Amino acid sequence: MKTQPTSPVVWTAKHLRLAIDAAGVALWSWNVDDDTLTMDARGCGLWGVEPDRTVTFEDLSSRIHPADRDRVRAAFSATRGLVGPYEIDFRIMHSNEVRWISARGQGDDQGIVGRVMFGIFLDVTGRKQAEEGHELLAGEMSHRVKNLLAIATGLTAITSRSTTTSTDMARELTQRLTALDRAHDLVRPLPGSEGKAALLGDLIAILLAPYDDMGAFSGRIRVSVPRMGVGEAAATTLALVVHELATNSLKYGALSVPVGMLDVSCSSQEETVVVVWTERGGPAVAAPSGPGGYGSKLLKRAMTRQFDGSIEREWNEAGVVVTLTMNKSYLVS
């Protein structure tokens, strides 16, 4: 069965208007003699001016973002000297919001009719926001990589000073970096205002999980904290702190013997969060006589600089008790 050939579509002004509306294009004309611009309804809505109103370039300039105004004025003044099509993107202020506009036309008086030039406006806000988002993400990724490299460099230096053999250094450095990796794996958005990364209880429990099956029975490490979110930066620092405390316990404290136990509890006030690390059933401990090693300095620096808080130790006969006090706003950032 033969199909009848379709007749070619005859484009009318109505058809062109439908196509223009579908593309989101706003039309403008510019009288180069009296500097007046006329826009269609979409253009007026884009700029926030009354429909069918003739405006001057200076009228529209008052709506251009101050940071772009001089650049746009210079560009429009130069359009008549440009050969071929031109395009310029800029921001405008409309109803307390910022929109990105792309103005396009023909330069060198090409297409001018009776001293009037023609062009279009496009709302490119979505594209510009996407570009800004990509730039922000790239900058954030660069910042994170630099931070991780700085942390790795610092950990390498600290570990090299606190160990005597290359085997010990490799083991401890690997453990510290693994602790950071576990903390990084927990980073995810949380609902409401609980923070951006992990829940505090999940973070501590996962970081301590490798030590829980090293004794005579499982479940010798207990974590009891309220539901609370931890920010991404805080999660990384807290991972270092928890690992350092666990390493000390494994060497000298409750986790160094099969029957030792560790209890981690937490209380939250309006402005502070207090985590109490309590060891029991380990060997007798005593306060160090000297200023402490690099691990102690790492803990103090992390608590004071990163959490605007403090660290206190009690050397009890039953075992050491460590109290970590943190500024709540620093913990969730």
Rounded Cα gap, residues 305 and 310, in angstroms: 9
Whole-number pLDDT of residue 327: 92
Helices 294-301, 125-162: inter-axial angle, 10-degree rounding: 150
Whole-number pLDDT of residue 188: 56
Whole-number pLDDT of residue 215: 47
pLDDT digits (tens, 9 = 90+) for 99-153: 898 888 776 665 566 677 788 888 888 888 888 777 766 765 775 566 567 667 7
Listed in sequence order, the DSSP H helices in 163-219 are 166-185, 200-208
Give all domains of the chain, ordered by start, each with its CATH number.
13-123 (3.30.450.20), 129-331 (3.30.565.10)
Rg for the chain, CA atoms, rounded: 33
pLDDT digits (tens, 9 = 90+) for 215-249: 445 678 899 998 888 887 788 788 888 888 887 88
**Which phi-psi region, left, alpha or beta, contains residue 255 (left: φ > 0; alpha: ψ -120 to 50)?**
alpha
Say if residues 327 and 271 touch (Cβ distance below 8 Å): yes
Whole-number pLDDT of residue 256: 83
Indicate the pairing of strand 221-224 with strand 272-280: unpaired
**φ/ψ (deg, to 5) at 197:** -110, -120
Say if residues 258 and 295 touch (Cβ distance below 8 Å): no
Which residue type occupies 104? R
Quote the DSSP letter at residue 263.
Answer: E
Whole-number pLDDT of residue 76: 75
Which residue in this structure is represented by tokens 């992990």?
198
Question: Can you read off the two tokens belonging to residue 118?
Answer: 């023609």
Whole-number pLDDT of residue 111: 59
Rounded Cα gap, residues 178 and 173, in angstroms: 8
Rounded Cα gap, residues 186 and 150, in angstroms: 21
**Which phi-psi region, left, alpha or beta, contains residue 123 (left: φ > 0; alpha: ψ -120 to 50)?**
beta
Whole-number pLDDT of residue 216: 46
Helices 166-185, 125-162: inter-axial angle, 10-degree rounding: 150
pTM score of the predicted model: 0.49
Helices 166-185, 232-252: inter-axial angle, 10-degree rounding: 140
Whole-number pLDDT of residue 325: 95
Beta bridge partners of 263: 222, 278
Low-confidence ranges of the chain (pLDDT < 70): 1-11, 13, 15, 52, 79-83, 107-114, 136-137, 139-140, 143-148, 150-151, 154-155, 157-158, 161-162, 179-180, 182-197, 210, 212-218, 290-295, 333
DSSP for 78-105, written as a single string: HGGG--EEEEEEEEEEETTEEEEEEEEE
DSSP for 115-139, written as a single string: TEEEEEEEE-HHHHHHHHHHHHHHH
